[in-house]
Amino acid sequence: MAQTSTTPRHFLTLPDLTADELHRVVARSAVLKRMWRQGQVYEPLKGRTLAMIFELSSTRTRVSFEAGMHQLGGHALFLNPSDLHLGRGEPVEDTARVLSEMVDAIMIRTFDHDMVASFAAAASVPVINGMTGRFHPCQLLADIQTFVEYRGDVAGKTVAFVGDGHNMCNSYVRAAGLFGFQLRVATPRGHQPDQGILPAANVELADSPAQAVAGADLVVTDVWSSMGHEGEEADRRAAFNGYQVTPTLMDHAKPGALFMHCLPAHRGEEVSAEMLDDPRSVAWVEAGNRLHSQKALLEFLLLHGR
Ligand code: CP
């Protein structure tokens, strides 16, 4: 059931949806989670297909989109670029136009954010960023859903991001203004968030992890060497020395503060082994919520995002 509109809504970065739409998707994620847990069959995407192009590895993103489409009554196609003509030089724009003739939405994970933007510009169905080197907006939907699930509205709260100012940090920078929380970022010099999105509403750069975390309601980190940083691991371990999130660092946060990590985690680097299983960690629920937030996003883009 390919769509006929030539002006689809895409989700390449958080501001592709309005703040109101983002709040609706997050709220809907919780409803879909409840329905799924109650065993309700809800298949509004029967007959619909999502094409998923993964140029980089994935566990959570792949499984959540694939299982999510199945649960909504649709189908997901896993496409490895090396098996596509895309991997042999067929232009991105041509691939986008051809897939748009056959499927109802396309999800892409690749390092090159500009490639995804070019793909979306040529597509006539919704394109979803499943993570690029600049942004990981799908993860933010699950993170906000998880915070709301445990602590209620994130507006007015303080979030500390400790570690690499890479795609997760950039996405938190974007989220701060849209969801109305204060963001404190602690990164080593030379690893700050993308200068193209700073200064940003509600965002301040802290001098140290302890300063960022002081009184925070939520503490977040991500790996020091993301996909695309291969070969830099030793230099990065040295640069990020002192930026590990531990129970002791968390003690600077507000009582009742939560810890999140988008995973996969490198225990002993950005997070200590005990922190992931600390009672303040909600990383496993956060990972599970990828399923529900992906379903809410697919439902929004395919059924309501016009
Ligand atoms: N957090 C996240 O995107 O996980 P994957 O790389 O496993 O998809």
DSSP secondary structure string, 48-101? -EEEEEESS--SHHHHHHHHHHHHTT-EEEEE-GGGSGGGGT--HHHHHHHHHT
Token digits of residue 185 = 């970022």
Q: Which residues are catalytic?
A: 109, 136, 139, 222, 262, 290
When pLDDT is averaged across residues 132-143 and rounded to a whole number, the result is: 98
Residues framing ligand 1 (Cβ under 6 A): 58-61, 131, 139, 262-263
Structural element, H or E, at residue 170: helix 167-179
Per-residue pLDDT of 178-213, as tens digits, reads 999 999 999 999 999 999 999 999 999 999 999 999
| 135 CA to centre of own chain | 7
Cα 60 to ligand 1 centre (Å): 5
Q: Which of 155, 150, 148, 223 is nearest to 183 (CA)?
A: 155
Lowest mean pLDDT among 122-136, 188-202, 270-284: 188-202
Residue 1 pLDDT > 90:
no
Confidence of residue 142 (pLDDT cuts 50, 70, 90): very high
Rounded Cα distance, 261 and 288, in Å:
12
- CA 149-153-154 angle, to 5 degrees, is 100
The whole-model pTM stands at 0.96
Question: Which of 53, 54, 55, 58 is the best mutation target for the ligand 1 pocket, counting ligand atoms within 8 Å of the beta carbon and taking the most?
Answer: 58
The pLDDT assigned to 285 comes to 98
CA 172/CA 184 separation, integer angstroms: 10
pLDDT of residue 16: 98
CA of 290 to the centre of ligand 1 (A): 9
